[in-house]
Amino acid sequence: MLEDLIKELKEGVDLDVYSVVTEDVEKGRLKDQFYLPIYLIKGEQKKRLLYMSVYLGNKPYYKGWVELFSINDELTFNGDKISYFGSNIENDLICFISQHSTAGEKLFVEYQWDKETLSASNRGIPEPLTRLGHLLFQNGYTWFKDWYFAEGFNEGGQKLQGEKPIDEESKERHLQDIVDDAQKFLNRSEGIDKVEKNAVERGKKLLEEVHK
């Protein structure tokens, strides 16, 4: 549950050789919404990694959601540079959020500094075949929407939404849509550069996983 997610982040969560923690949690604009600055820790060093917004929902009317934004892609610890996008830190954090999310809940992730996902999105590559979208798919999110707000960025930057299926019937329907989109992409893509080649490989892997 998302309440437990906030509680555990306050206590600190281990991610490989790093850990993440939140401090100074603030209430959001909505009832039961909270803003959490997320810090990455290694040894004695602590640096802000991103901001997280968590809405606990209003049962039975509204499902909860989590949003990750203002992500710092590169951080330096004792001279060692780490890149967040594509790292074990990103993978473990998304997995941690997914484990605390239930059916119908959403995860929004800003990706304008994620160069591969941004390039894939601009080309119209299906969301589950993008770098970020495939990571969300692997963590149980089966419905996707690509958000972009051009009017002043009042709602934030470009972000990808993943949603967990509400039930098995919805999951099967989502998976069929994903398979159809992946197959159409594979039929037309020539894999002209690294971005498309990676998407092609994800598409093949996705079809194998779904058809097991």
The domains of the chain are located at: 1-102
Percent of the chain with pLDDT over 90: 83
| Domain 1-102 of CATH type 3.40.50.1950 | no
Give the containing element (helix H, strand E) for 77: strand 74-77
Backbone angles phi, psi at 151, to 5 degrees: -95, 80
Which pLDDT tens digit goes with each residue over 57-88? 987 789 999 999 999 999 999 888 989 999 99
**pLDDT score at 211:** 80
The answer to whether the CB of 9 falls within 8 A of the CB of 24 is no
| Pairwise CA distance, residues 34 & 21, whole Å | 15
pLDDT value of residue 152: 52
pLDDT at 149: 57
Using a 10 angstrom Cβ sphere, with 0-12 exposed, 13-18 middle and 19 or more buried, the burial of residue 31 is exposed
What is this structure's pTM?
0.93
Give the pair of three-digit tokens for residue 142: 């089966």
Phi–psi pair at 14, nearest 5 degrees: -80, 130
Residue type, 14: D
Query: Chain centroid to CA 197: how far?
Result: 21
pLDDT truncated to tens, each residue of the chain (212 aa)?
Answer: 999 999 999 999 998 789 999 999 999 888 899 999 999 999 889 999 999 999 999 877 899 999 999 999 999 998 889 899 999 999 999 999 999 999 999 999 999 999 999 999 999 999 999 999 999 999 999 999 999 754 555 556 799 999 999 999 999 999 999 999 999 999 998 888 999 999 999 999 999 988 87
